[in-house]
Every structure is written in structure tokens, then in C-alpha cells.
A and B are shown apart, each in its own frame.
Chain A
């Protein structure tokens, strides 16, 4: 018998739990169908097809997620439930399901924002033809023919698929592949703005360069951890860490380098430098999607990596997270004060939020460490991510409707007197800002309450004191914008508020409602987060 025949006889087909992976399969299926639509459907019908396909796909994946979530099996006692699927590559457990649900709902909202056409006079807010030079014949032709890149929908779906796989991956190899699947489409989407094309392309280049650089560190970290543990699998790494197989330096170096890659993705200082530039330059719909969903996915992955694989080395990495958290809160809150562009200001605000989330990250991790009725740090961070995501998407959606002749009026001076021009939009934006600041009766307050109490339960009180202090600093610049909108006189002809189509209106309404609802009755979502339990190992 030839060696090939021997191997064929030995080869066992991999087990692939299609039902558990169905949400992922739906999203990737929709993305690939979108590519086919792009190839075969006539140009005129593509917009409608793509938008409907994307919405239906996300809704379908959401339904699949709920079904999978209801059928999770209990595993190893405790509150952890779920299964490890696809030959150990992915962990479908409570936190995965919660993150999938969050990413999908936020993506659904973002798809609507992507599909908005009315604000640009009947075309998408993405470049009609990315390759055409601004101000040339080709560019004018592209806009008179109403060309638009409907490929943004399948590209977004690819990114959503990566965002779902990233926090659920159960080995370092899958995690790295997922990281790239979520990043590559985003690099590209950043460069596709219809207005201010040069800024948009500069943002794409910067994001790409820094992203590639940081993923170099990320995989060097993976190589070191592999050298330490002899395996890519989180359970095997965790066993090696607990057994202290020797080579401490190797493990610590690996953890540090992996942290560099992760902190880059979540936008934590000192790896935040790309955030304001990219958030400002990218099309606002992409910024909204990126700010909300990438942060959710990246924090999910960060928690799984550090809690599951490196849980045994907790006391080694906690000091590092403390330093990063404090630095991130300082940078985010202080630098936001001097911003004159509303998108940059929101970017720094998202950096500050990453700092608050990191505060929760070092909180009480074990169910045994918290009192009855209290939630663990994982559950608190999950809840915070929901509150942050909805408020952020809605805030960027508001940015898309405040416009002047050149497109979106992102300079803050253009926002003065908005309260008189459009009390509704200004009022909504004020509530969203108060939510970000964490004023009681908004979602920001309940979210902060959750992460700060879990951090206190974990004994991180100096960190909580710092966080509360910088929440106050951060509140100052949110309030400054509100004062500007209501108590300043308009400069020049003043801002105008364009009337968006029903799509953007839905986005703003949903985000606004979530900000208030999660502030007044956080119970149901907190219960859901608590029901997510723990990561399976």
C-alpha cells in the first residue's frame, strides 16, 4: 500500500458542528452572495439587493444566534455553558453568544447607516468611484452617472464575520485569522468617503500601516506563547501556565506582545494614535460601525485570551493592565478637551471609554469572588459594551445629519446655536453626550456603575478612584458641546440639519432609546449579561 493510501485510511474527517456555527455561516454566506450580486446583478438594482440582503442576513444570523444560545449545554459545572466546536477552533459559549448578539444588533443598525442615500442627494455616502481622482473628468462622470460602490455591503459583512469569530476563537491561530478578517475590510472601507476623499485615503493608509505593524507584534507574541506552551490551543496554554512549565520570560514576553496587538485594536493608550485620525477621516457611517462593533469584538477577544489562556498568570499581567488603563483614561479625557472637530472629540471619548472598560477588565473575575446578585468583571464589561455601542452609533449618526455646503459640518464651531436651529437634533445629541458622560438615568451611568463595582470587588480601588476622577474630566467636554449647542450664537449662516431618510432616523431613534432605556431599566440586559455566565475552558 502506498503511503498516500495509508494516510487516506488514517485521515479522519474533521467534525464540524454546523448548527453551532450557523450564525457565522449565515454572515459569511451573505457576504459571498453579495459578491455574486455585485458580479451578476444589473447596476441599477444592486443597491436595493445589497441593502436588503445585508439586513436580512444580519437578522437571519441574529435568529440563528438566539436559537444556538437557547440550546447551549452546561459544561463542567458552574455557570459556564456551551461547547467547543470545529476541532477546538471556536468556543460557542454564553459570552460568545452575548457578543454575537451585540455585534449583530449594532451591525444591523450600522447597515441602515451605510444604506442612507438621501443625505447625499440620492447616492451612498461612499465614493462613487474610488479610483477616480477628485475634481477630474472621470470623477464628474462617476457622479453624474450616479455610480456608487455597493461592494461596501459585502465588505462590511466580511468584517462582521471576523468580528464574530474573533471573540469566539479558542486557539491563537483562529484568533489571528479572525483579526485579519475583521481588519482588512475596515482598512479599505475607511478610504471610501465621497466627500473629503484625501482625508479619507490618508486615514486608510495610516490605519493600514499601523494595523500591519501592530499585527506583527501580535503574531510575534503568539510565536513566543507557542514556544512556551507547545500548543496554540487556549486550554493547553492555560494548563502550561498553571503548571509553570518554566521559561517565565518567554510567557511574559508573549503576553506583553499579544497585549500590544490587542490594545491597538481596542484603541488603548499608548497604542491609540491611529484612533482620532482614522475616526475623523473615515466615512462617518464606517466610523460608527468601527467604533461600536470593533470595540465590542476586540474586548471580547481580549477577555477570552487573558481570562482563559492566561488566567493562571493573572498576577503577572494585572499591573500592566493598570498602567494601560490609567494612561488610556488620562489621554482620552484630557486630549478630548482641546479638540475642535466633533469626530475627533468622539474618537478621544472612545479612547476614554476603552480605559473605563479596562478598569472593569481587572475586576473580580470569579463568580465565587462576588456577592450574590452581583456580576463578574466579564459580565460587567459585556454590559458596558452594549451601553457604549448604542450610544456611539447614534452619536455618529447625528454627526451625519448636521451639514453645510461641504458635506458634514464636523468642525465644532459649526455646531454652535444648533439648539435654536433644530431643537430635536440638538436635544438628542445632548442626551447621547450625557450618556457618554455617565449622568444618572442614562446608560452610561449604569454601565460605569457595573464596571466600577466589579473593579472594587476585585480590590482595584485606586483604579476606580482614577476612573471616577477622569469621568468628571470627561464630563466637562461633553457638557462643553452641549453649552455650545444651546448657549452660543451661530457663526456665519449657522449649521443646517439635513432631513435624513427613515434609515438614519431609525438609527438615531434606536440609539437614543437604548441610551435612556438602559439607564432607567438596565435589569433585562444585565440579566442577559449575567446569564452569559463564564467562558468555557
Chain B
């Protein structure tokens, strides 16, 4: 077993374990914190898989921005900090069944499809900021520009929903 494989197994265990805690913990704030662990572990796996830039973006945007937003939302909705007994609906059993079905179908699909296929990471081109930037601004330039429009739309939308009367503003 190579170093990469050992690291992958460790990170994978951490990611899966903390993800389970995200969806099962009784304390809402803990869910957000476990999410940080999951996302961090997945970022580590990205590094192993030669996706350096994606890994850093994952840390910056997901861990840095999205989780902070989620924590803010928990705070602003006055989420209790202690454990709560009624976070889950009573439909836990059907939910387990659906999730199990998804896992079974997707899992067998990928395992059957790629059984015995080796992922060779030696000498792989590392997806650095430079290589990623070069492909984005050449091959993917239209979706990239549209993505900026999407961000603007989301920004305007979020302001529309939360802006006050604007009386203290310039009007």
C-alpha cells in the first residue's frame, strides 16, 4: 500500500464519519462544525488527486464562506445551542431506505464499472491555478462569464429579500 493510498483511506474515513455526524447530531451548531471536518477532509483528498487549485478553493469558499454563512443563519434563526430531541422528522426509516437505495445503486454502478481499474497518479498534471486558469479562460470562457452573471443575480436577489426601508441610506 502506498502512502497516497493510506492517506486516502484515512481522509476518506474522516470524511464519511464526520458526514454521518452532520446528519445525525442532535446539536445544530455541531452539525455545522462537523461539516467543516468533512469538507476539509474532502479538500485533502482533492490534493491527493492532483487537484490543487480545487482543494484551496474548497477551503476558501466552502469552509471559509459557506459554513460561516450557515453558522450565521443558525444564529439568526435563534437555533438552540443545546441538544434537541426533535431535529429529525418521524420518517427516519423511509429516509434510511432511500439513502440506502441511492448508495446501493450508485455504489454498485461505480464499483462494477471500474472494477480493477487503477488510478495512476504518478506524473499527473497537477491542476494548479495556472493550468486551471488557462483552461477556464480558453475552453470554458462562456460558462465562466455566465457564472459571474449568476453571482450578480444572487447578490441582487439576496439584497432584495433582506434590505430595510433604506431610510437611513441616502434617500
Contact = CB atoms under 8 A, between A and B. Distances in A.
Interface string B146-158: 1101101110110
A180 interface: yes
A47 interface: no
Given A130-B160, A131-B162, A147-B165, A158 B141 contact: no
A255 B162 CA distance: 39
Interface in A169-225: 173-174, 177-178, 180-181, 184-185, 187-188, 191-192, 220, 224
B139 to A, nearest CB: 5
B83 to A, nearest CB: 24
24 contacts: A7-B130, A11-B137, A11-B138, A14-B137, A16-B142, A89-B140, A89-B142, A90-B142, A129-B165, A131-B161, A131-B162, A158-B152, A161-B146, A173-B140, A173-B143, A174-B142, A178-B146, A181-B146, A191-B161, A227-B110, A227-B113, A247-B113, A249-B108, A249-B109
A161 B150 CA distance: 10
A14 B153 contact: no
A12 B138 CA distance: 7
B153 A89 contact: no
Given A131-B163, A249-B112, A14 B149 contact: no
B132 to A, nearest CB: 12
A87 B141 contact: yes
Contacts, number: 119
Interface of A: 3-4, 7, 10-14, 16, 21, 28, 31-32, 35, 38, 43, 86-90, 129-132, 138, 141-142, 147, 149, 151, 154-155, 158, 161-162, 165, 173-174, 177-178, 180-181, 184-185, 187-188, 191-192, 220, 224, 227-228, 247, 249-250, 253
Secondary structure at the A interface, as helix, strand, loop or mixed, is: helix
B114 to A, nearest CB: 8
Nearest to B131: A7
A61 B153 CA distance: 19
A249 to B, nearest CB: 5
A448 B157 CA distance: 38
* Most central of B105, B130, B140, B164 by chain A CB within 10 Å: B140
Given A154-B156, A191-B161, A181 B149 contact: yes
The 4 closest A-B pairs by CB, nearest first: A86-B142, A89-B142, A158-B153, A188-B157
B143 A155 contact: no
A149 B160 contact: yes
Given A147-B165, A155-B160, A249-B112, A3 B153 contact: no
Contact of B130 (A4, A13, A187): A4
A181 B150 contact: yes
A504 B38 CA distance: 52
Contact of A87 (B108, B110, B138, B149): B138
Nearest to A128: B165
A249 B104 CA distance: 13
Given A32-B152, A131-B162, A131-B163, A155 B142 contact: no
Given A11-B137, A173-B140, A228-B113, 19 more contacts: A3-B130, A7-B130, A14-B141, A16-B142, A31-B153, A87-B142, A89-B142, A129-B165, A130-B162, A131-B163, A149-B160, A158-B149, A161-B149, A181-B153, A187-B157, A227-B110, A247-B113, A249-B109, A253-B109
A390 B99 CA distance: 41
Nearest to B149: A28
A70 B138 CA distance: 29
Nearest to B141: A14
Contact of B141 (A86, A142, A180): A86
Contacts of B106: 220, 253
A7 B150 contact: no
Nearest to A38: B156
Given A89-B143, A250-B109, A177 B150 contact: yes
B171 interface: yes
Contacts of B143: 89, 173-174, 177
B147 A177 contact: yes
A35 B165 contact: no
Contacts of A249: 108-109, 112-113
